[in-house]
Amino acid sequence: MATKKRTLKKPTTATTTAPTETATASPQAPANAQAPQPDPSALSIGDLKNLAVTLDIASTRGAFKAAEMATVGFLYNKLSAFLAKVAPPEDKKEGEPTTTGTGGK
């Protein structure tokens, strides 16, 4: 049985061109495509608060030498002052009475 050798034809440009789509913004774009990705190396106020707590715990446990305590204390004081200025005030517990009430009868 003899087999025929098939010859592959190169397609011409007229047969291979597909209709091109224009790049337009669709009004129903996915929400995650528009949201910017957060910088993984960025520090938040919560990160700085955790750092202050970590410095406090480490100094309590004796992780620093006596000669290092001045530097650690300076950094802790500077960080605490920054957080007091920048961080929003802590919310009071729900059960505590507030001082800004009706003021009487």
Instruction: Provide the pLDDT for residue 81.
Output: 94
Print pLDDT tens along the chain (105 aa).
Answer: 566 666 656 655 555 555 555 555 555 655 556 677 878 888 899 999 999 999 999 999 999 999 999 999 999 999 999 999 997 766 666 555 555 555 555
Whether 51 contacts 76, CB under 8 Å: no
Q: Where are the domains of the chain?
A: 43-86
- Residue 79, classified by CB atoms within 10 Å of its CB into exposed (0-12), middle (13-18) or buried (19+), is middle
Tokens of 87: 């961080």
Task: Output the pLDDT for position 59.
Answer: 93
Model-wide pTM > 0.85: no
Distance from C-alpha of 42 to C-alpha of 54, rounded to nearest angstrom? 18
Q: Which residue has the tokens 């650690």?
A: 72
- Pairwise CA distance, residues 71 & 73, whole Å: 5
pLDDT at residue number 98: 54
